[in-house]
Amino acid sequence: MSQEPARNTFTHLPPDKQERVLDAALTEFADQGYHQASLNRLVAKAGIAKGSLYQYFPNKEGIFRHIFQLALNLVRRTLVAVKEATENENLFFRLEKSLQAGVRFLQEHPRIYSLYLKIQFDRQTPLRRELLAAVRRHASEYFGSLIARAKARGELRPGISEPAALFLLDAVFDRFLQAAAVPYLDVTFNLHQAPEEAVNRRIRELIDLLKEGLAA
Amino acid sequence: MSQEPARNTFTHLPPDKQERVLDAALTEFADQGYHQASLNRLVAKAGIAKGSLYQYFPNKEGIFRHIFQLALNLVRRTLVAVKEATENENLFFRLEKSLQAGVRFLQEHPRIYSLYLKIQFDRQTPLRRELLAAVRRHASEYFGSLIARAKARGELRPGISEPAALFLLDAVFDRFLQAAAVPYLDVTFNLHQAPEEAVNRRIRELIDLLKEGLAA
DNA sequence: CTGGGACATGACCAGTTGGTCATATCATTA
DNA sequence: TAATGATATGACCAACTGGTCATGTCCCAG
């Protein structure tokens, strides 16, 4: 499969130095995207020599892979935690809590989210297929299991199209997080850097609309 | 305001040559994004000398502005046409037609849509604020007027939050188009390069869900 | 035929990129 | 102390970037 991108030299380094390098790398890739990212800037930020970087990683893509894996693991852990924490609640409450958790994640790890958005729409970025496949799988499992449980508990309108419901939830959630993270994206909610209370109000409005529908 | 980015020299050119240059530029920017785009590749594609390019436009950003304006005007005209064509129909029929028109646009002008996505998530691209502001204004006007009319005709559930409805429509539409345009993005609908008939079925499922809601 | 303005051209420039490598430093052995 | 292997370093490389400009071609007016 894919060989380990980090060299032994890197894992033997004192943890704080590893931290500095990874931090600089995440910042650079998140700010600039893969191709725009400059290794010269990266090493300057990390306070190491250019040559050292190539003792730690085989090349630019190797650094990227490493960051990518760390980020993906963090997301995975977070998703599992939220799902378990609301296991026995009803669908709409779970959705509300999920969206809140999403916003929290994005505020705590803005660079990871920014990196994700960059990869999503830059066809040239390495690992793009892998990333999108992984995200798709997670989203599908997550919402799929919420919907299945809701159906079993009779919380869903009968005859509903499950793929459509999944698509709808995925779309609305993703857009909500984007609007909270990216300035100028949002049409009416003004979510970017809004106070928590305002965000939560919007979440409730939105869930309510999903629940009851638009039609009279 | 903003000065014209194209020089007179360019407008005096034989139309087919203008066409070739603009086409090459759109392709390059759409494929690579602003910063990754290479003027060397661009001139090779257009079959002109590097020096000539600088007789037509002041610099890279000037070329980008020009392409950008052309694209924006095209979108504007399309939006107006759809809105007028369904003026007296009910909300959900109009939404269906709008989404169909969106998919059609994206199939006819994939490079323009790709460019739009690139700009949206690359914070470093020039004109990003302008682009996002323009898109936001258009979307808000478009959906806003649909919703206002639907409300007047009593097609909406009373007490509905208008900002939430607007956000919801904007989110779902945008995501639907993204899923149709970008491979691997879509969780369950398999919209990318799907046949028209399949797309239209999905559109109907989705609109129906928006109409009736999720809850039992 | 001459002159002049519009347009075309590609060699050239300084700056930056990802990546290399000979050399230096350092801690740990013997 | 000497030797050894791991790690650190930054000058250096070819390739490419956006942008310039001296020179050339072409057409048309006088």
Mean pLDDT within A93-115: 97
Token pair belonging to A85: 């924490």
* pLDDT at A212 > cutoff 90: yes
Q: In the prediction, which pLDDT does A3 show?
A: 57
Which B-chain residues 93-132 have CB contacts (< 8 A) with chain A? 117-118, 120-124, 128-129, 132
Report residues of chain B scoring pLDDT below 70: 1-4
Q: In the prediction, which pLDDT does B2 show?
A: 43
Q: Looking at the complex, does the CB of residue B57 fall below 8 Å from at least one CB of chain A? A: no
Q: What is the CATH number of domain B66-212?
A: 1.10.357
Q: In the prediction, which pLDDT does A63 show?
A: 97
Question: Which spans in chain A are helix H?
Answer: 8-11, 15-36, 39-46, 50-56, 60-85, 91-108, 110-121, 128-152, 162-181, 196-212
The domain made up of A65-212 has a fold known as Tetracycline Repressor; domain 2 (1.10.357)
> How many angstroms is C1' of C16 away from CA of A116?
26
Mean pLDDT within A178-205: 94
A50 touches strand C (CB under 7 A): yes
Mean pLDDT within A31-38: 97
Q: In the prediction, which pLDDT does A64 show?
A: 97
Of the pLDDT bands very low, low, confident and very high (cuts 50, 70, 90), residue A2 is very low
Of the pLDDT bands very low, low, confident and very high (cuts 50, 70, 90), residue A137 is very high
* pLDDT at A5 > cutoff 90: no
Q: In the prediction, which pLDDT does B143 show?
A: 96
Q: In the prediction, which pLDDT does B6 show?
A: 85
B56 within 8 A of B9, measured Cβ to Cβ: yes
Domain boundaries, chain A: 65-212
A57 within 8 A of A5, measured Cβ to Cβ: yes
Rounded to the nearest angstrom, the gap between the alpha carbon of residue A4 and the centroid of all alpha carbons in its chain is 23
Token pair belonging to A194: 């809004």
Q: Please choose, from the candidates A196, A186, A211, A206, the residue with its C-alpha nearest in 3D space to the C-alpha of residue A106.
A: A196
Instruction: Give the nucleotide nearest to A10 (CA→C1').
Output: D7
Share of chain A above pLDDT 90, in %: 88
Mean pLDDT within A101-126: 94
Q: Looking at the complex, does the CB of residue B165 fall below 8 Å from at least one CB of chain A? A: yes
Query: Nearest C-alpha of chain B: how many angstroms from A160?
Result: 8
- From the number of C-beta atoms within 10 Å of its C-beta (0-12, 13-18, 19+), residue B12 rates as exposed
Alpha-carbon gap, residue B194 to B196, rounded angstroms: 6
Q: Please choose, from the candidates B94, B121, B106, B93, the residue with its C-alpha nearest in 3D space to the C-alpha of residue B34.
A: B121
Token pair belonging to A109: 């790890």
- From the number of C-beta atoms within 10 Å of its C-beta (0-12, 13-18, 19+), residue A23 rates as middle
Amino acid identity, position B53: L
**Sign, Cα dihedral of B44, B45, B49, B50:** negative
Verify whether the Cβ–Cβ distance A212 to B211 is below 8 Å.
no
Mean pLDDT of chain A: 94
Of the pLDDT bands very low, low, confident and very high (cuts 50, 70, 90), residue A6 is confident
Alpha-carbon gap, residue B202 to A12, rounded angstroms: 53
Cα-atom radius of gyration of chain B, to the nearest Å?
20
Of the pLDDT bands very low, low, confident and very high (cuts 50, 70, 90), residue A28 is very high
Q: Which of A135 and A93 is assigned the larger pLDDT? A: A93
